[in-house]
Amino acid sequence: MTRVDTWDGAMRLALTEARTALAGDDVPVGAVVLDADGTVIGTGRNTREAEGDPTGHAEVVALRAAAAARGEWRLTGCTLVVTLEPCTMCAGALVLARVDRLVFGAYDDQLGAVGSLWDVVRDRRLNHRPEVVAGVLAAESTALLDTFFARHR
């Protein structure tokens, strides 16, 4: 099992997942879930195009893998690291999974739900609010996305 000691190290693993999504012509977003010790217990990348699944977002794929590895849906003590600010679906999923911390790279001005358009994860009406660490290796995440969208315009 892979263990990481820094947010940059974890984000580099997520960027590797994002590049794999790019190779499959999916929007290059990657995610990893770390347990409390920093061990990777789930990985994911966008699979919407590859699998024809509207919920095939990197975060959801990684959360499912982590829950399977743990044998339960509660991911208390875990950190979700993702290359792009989560959308409302993914922000809701990580709140419902009880993830303790979210680390993300690039902001998403069009769909972001962790401060850009909405702030689902900090909504005081919810019973769980993870810590947020934003902007980790944001330039690298943004460059990957910019390359993808330039090709598709």
pLDDT tens digits, 22-54? 888 999 999 999 999 999 999 999 999 999 999
Residue positions annotated with a catalytic role: 59
Region 149-153: mean pLDDT is 86
pLDDT of 1 over the 80 cut: no
Question: pTM here?
Answer: 0.96
pLDDT of 145 over the 80 cut: yes
> Could you tell me if 74 and 53 are in contact, meaning their C-beta atoms sit under 8 angstroms apart?
no
> Could you tell me if 144 and 83 are in contact, meaning their C-beta atoms sit under 8 angstroms apart?
yes
Region 119-134: mean pLDDT is 96
What's the rounded Cα separation, in Å, for the pair 112 and 21?
Answer: 20
Go through 114-131 and write b for each residue having 16 or more CB atoms within 10 A of its CB, e for each that does not.
bbeeeebbeeeeeeeebe
For the sheet containing 101-106, what is the strand order? Answer: 40-45, 30-34, 79-84, 101-106, 131-134
So what's the pLDDT on residue 24? 87
Torsion of CA 66, 72, 74, 80, to 10 degrees: 0
What's the rounded Cα separation, in Å, for the pair 143 and 140?
Answer: 5
Closest CA to 33 of 65, 74, 80: 80
So what's the pLDDT on residue 114? 98
CA atoms within 13 A on the CB side of 6: 5
Region 5-22: mean pLDDT is 96
So what's the pLDDT on residue 152? 83
- Residues marked as binding? 57, 87, 90
Region 49-77: mean pLDDT is 97
What's the rounded Cα separation, in Å, for the pair 110 and 120?
Answer: 15
So what's the pLDDT on residue 23? 87
Encoded amino acid at 2, one letter: T
- Residues marked as binding for Zn(2+)? 57, 87, 90
pLDDT tens digits, 78-125? 999 999 999 999 999 999 999 999 999 999 999 999 999 999 999 999
